[in-house]
Chain A
């Protein structure tokens, strides 16, 4: 085989190997789900993206308020950041999700903050308002906490065991 052909033939396989080794390293060190990232870890672990739970809450001077963080309306970019935070919950990806949370107005209904609308660029968010009878009352929030949980099953005990993979807290500068 011509030497140039050998080099050409190896280019794509070398790319595959580089990405796959990187994926294994990230799964080991940064909790990347084995199913994603190009490392061929599908159908090997129960820790799939579909079985991970991303829980978010606004921190207030009172009780925390749960955020329905999976639903950003029609904005795909924010939804992808939610998926990324679940797939690899390092500080950078979770921080990007928090950026989108900050850019939105949220309405609290039965202690759960639901996405309402995007704030204009000039306004620093998040804006959290209470719904129901106290409609539009602004709630002071001091920060956001994001937790990502995985689901694990061990043969024999017939129990599903949730495991906290990451927990990040982001405080807002001067509250809202």
Chain B
């Protein structure tokens, strides 16, 4: 063995399959590498507390009245949120409530919520529950964004901007925002919606119809499409890539950029809150910074349910009049 040539490779770089496997399993690649149990514990407390708050302010579909009561108990009784049987009860309630609706009517964040509660229960059986939950949270977010970005790339109408053209011209949620900055006429949105509704009436024969989009908005929609894919791709890559701890802040940064860029336009608040909770769980920021960043984002997201006030303010700022020219 002594007369073997010295290895000409970077120290620590994997070469055999076993080394590659060990490299990926190395705790140095986890966001909590070197983090104290106290840091992990604080992330877990933050994530579980916000999860229970979600159950209070935006419970999953068809959850029984018992669910908010169980959530309150978890917030009030110290240590209860670290009990595996507590999470079994909550996971059961959320699962029964969610799956009592047919699966094809569920939104994607309902599925993500099921996975998250299942993980909260299952990781209580781990030797190091908080570390296992941090890894699960990171992977769930990473894969969800990987599939979201993949769908946008393979969908023929997304990268061309056609999807945003269509959605701004027909969806109230996005249309309101565009209208508030003078890039859309609310009457145009309702007119387009009537066109589509007409094809859904019993006996209607769907036929090719004119669809009016806003010419001022149209140049921007391909840019928005590409930015969406880039941001979602960045979240997917940063959460799935085995980053060293010094680069792990990119996960928090990409998630916060995504939340800020997305939810004022498309206020699917339940989805946004859930993503923040999971991102907080895997975050390697210092505990105080992490708590301030994620609680602030969580609260701001919840306030978006009153975004009408902000939109009125934007309308005033851009001096938008109701009959603005849209040609």
Q: Which of A2, A54, A55 contacts B126 (CB 8 A)?
A: A2
- Distance to closest chain B CB from A1 (angstroms): 6
> What residues of chain A lie closer than 8 Å to B136, measured between beta carbons?
8-13
Contact call A40/B147, Cβ cutoff below 8 A:
yes
- Bitwise interface map of B from 149 to 172 toward A, beta carbon under 8 Å scored 1, else 0: 011100101101111011100100
Q: Which of A80-88, A97-105, A118-126, A138-146 contacts B (4 or more CB under 8 A)?
A: A80-88
The DSSP consensus for interface residues of chain A is mixed
- Distance to closest chain A CB from B225 (angstroms): 10
Q: Which of A16, A37, A42 contacts B104 (CB 8 A)?
A: A37
> What residues of chain B lie closer than 8 Å to A160, measured between beta carbons?
195-196, 208-211
Query: Quick one: given A12-B118, A34-B151, are A159 and B210 in contact (CB under 8 Å)?
Result: yes
- Bitwise interface map of B from 110 to 125 toward A, beta carbon under 8 Å scored 1, else 0: 0110011011001101
B128 at the interface (CB under 8 A from A): yes
> What residues of chain B lie closer than 8 Å to A112, measured between beta carbons?
202-203
Contact call A155/B206, Cβ cutoff below 8 A:
no
B107 at the interface (CB under 8 A from A): yes
A67 at the interface (CB under 8 A from B): yes
| A37 and B25 alpha carbons, distance in the complex (Å) | 32
> What residues of chain A lie closer than 8 Å to B126, measured between beta carbons?
2, 4-5, 8-9
| A55 and B200 alpha carbons, distance in the complex (Å) | 8
A154 at the interface (CB under 8 A from B): yes
For B205, give the chain A residue with the smallest CB separation: A55
| A87 and B102 alpha carbons, distance in the complex (Å) | 11
Query: Quick one: given A155-B161, A155-B165, are A83 and B105 in contact (CB under 8 Å)?
Result: yes
Query: Quick one: given A2-B128, A5-B127, A154-B162, are A45 and B151 in contact (CB under 8 Å)?
Result: yes
> What residues of chain A lie closer than 8 Å to B25, measured between beta carbons?
1, 6
Query: Quick one: given A40-B151, A160-B211, are A1 and B118 in contact (CB under 8 Å)?
Result: no
What is A's interface to B at a CB cutoff of 8 Å?
1-2, 4-6, 8-13, 15-17, 19-20, 24, 32, 34-46, 51-57, 66-70, 80, 83-84, 87-88, 111-112, 149, 151-155, 158-162
Which 3 residue pairs are nearest across A and B when measured between Cβ atoms? A162-B206, A66-B203, A13-B139
